[in-house]
Amino acid sequence: MPPASKQFPVWLHRPFSVHGQWNEAKSLVRDLKLHTVCEEARCPNLGECWSHGNVSFMILGRRCTRRCGFCAVETARPDLVDSEEPRRLAEAVAALKLKYVVVTSVARDDLPDEGAGAFAASLRAIRARAPEAQVEVLTPDFHARGELIGTVLQERPAVYNHNVETVPRLSPRIRPQAGYARSLSALRIAKEMGRHPLKTKSGLMVGLGETPGEVRQTMIDLRGAGVDLLTVGQYLRPTEGHHPVSEFVLPEQFSIYERWGRELGFSFVASGPRVRSSYNAFEALQGGL
């Protein structure tokens, strides 16, 4: 479904085509009753990624306890925790012969551990069923609670990812139930607690009304929190009820953001109109080694 934004500029147009592992990935997700952020967040790269067997799994249901102004995931009373989900997730990873897996979740502020235990269980299940697969976790902020972040880190993900999403000035409007400073704290804690060779990662969207100077300062803040890997992509409005697109950032500006990121010391920067947090995630890790 196309996002409800202004008319797309030419550099954002790309035909939707499927090939390769598309049918297999789609069937497995359906048959194993799994959810993906690719579908729930209406990612524009879904066809490309699924055709290559790159599926970003979303655990803990499809209903979020938070309501963010940019996100297409439904906000409602959350689903019951499915104790069999980690096993089915690991089965899908093994069947698709994935070498790299992204596991994310909705926010689960209703749970005592905010879902950290489900991330840990998923990591254990994948390691048992597909030991060759590396796993990137894309977590909520866990309210920057070190014991919850530690629960996830104990299961040795290759990458600990948490997105700040936007610059601090816009964060209260775009992420009213989160917090820019809290997200930085969560990333800093993960870096401090994680054992080598853990990489930390974050991403932000542009086109929400930020200035280039604010983007640069956000990059500086992320480096200050020890973040290694950075993604910068164009915000696309999911529906008319979401925050409007302020501008479609020119490809040249994305190139400037990539250059700034490398100059500031990120080991890998993916910056482009169609870049998303988990897009080409394996390449991001390899490029940042």
Q: How many domains does the chain have?
A: 1
pLDDT higher than 70, residue 21 = no
Once rounded to an integer, what is the mean pLDDT over residues 261-288?
Answer: 80
Tell me, yes or no, whether 67 lies in a domain. yes
Give the residue with greater pLDDT, 237 vs 70: 237
For residue 25, give its domain range: 15-287
Give the residue with greater pLDDT, 172 vs 4: 172
Least confident residue range of 69-78, 198-207, 268-277: 69-78
Tell me, yes or no, whether 102 lies in a domain. yes
Q: What pLDDT band is residue 241 in, cutting at 50, 70 and 90?
A: confident
Average pLDDT score, the chain: 86
Residue 19 is predicted with a pLDDT of: 46
List C-alpha distances in Å: 87 to 16, 95, 101, 224.
31, 12, 14, 37
d(CA 268, CA 277): 13
Tell me, yes or no, whether 133 lies in a domain. yes
Tell me, yes or no, whether 4 lies in a domain. no
What order of strands is seen across the sheet that includes strand 229-234? 35-36, 56-59, 100-105, 134-138, 159-161, 199-206, 229-234, 268-272
Tell me, yes or no, whether 217 lies in a domain. yes
Residue 213 is predicted with a pLDDT of: 98
Tell me, yes or no, whether 7 lies in a domain. no
Q: What pLDDT band is residue 11 in, cutting at 50, 70 and 90?
A: confident
Give the residue with greater pLDDT, 33 vs 224: 224
Tell me, yes or no, whether 6 lies in a domain. no
Token pair 């629960």 is at which residue? 151
Once rounded to an integer, what is the mean pLDDT over residues 182-195?
Answer: 96
Residue 4 is predicted with a pLDDT of: 43
d(CA 154, CA 174): 31
Tell me, yes or no, whether 259 lies in a domain. yes
Least confident residue range of 22-26, 104-108, 177-181, 230-234: 22-26
CB-based burial label for 178 (10 Å; 0-12, 13-18, 19+): buried
Residue 192 is predicted with a pLDDT of: 96
Residue 5 is predicted with a pLDDT of: 43
CATH number of the structural domain spanning residue 20: 3.20.20.70
d(CA 209, CA 195): 37
Give the residue with greater pLDDT, 18 vs 264: 264
What's the pLDDT tens digit per position in 135-170? 999 999 999 999 999 999 999 999 999 999 999 999
Q: Which of 125, 116, 54, 123 is nearest to 84 (CA)?
A: 125
Residue 37 is predicted with a pLDDT of: 59
Per-residue buried b or exposed e for 140-152, using 16+ beta carbons within 10 Å of the residue's own CB: bbbebbeebbbbb
What's the pLDDT tens digit per position in 27-57? 777 788 888 755 544 555 554 554 555 678 9
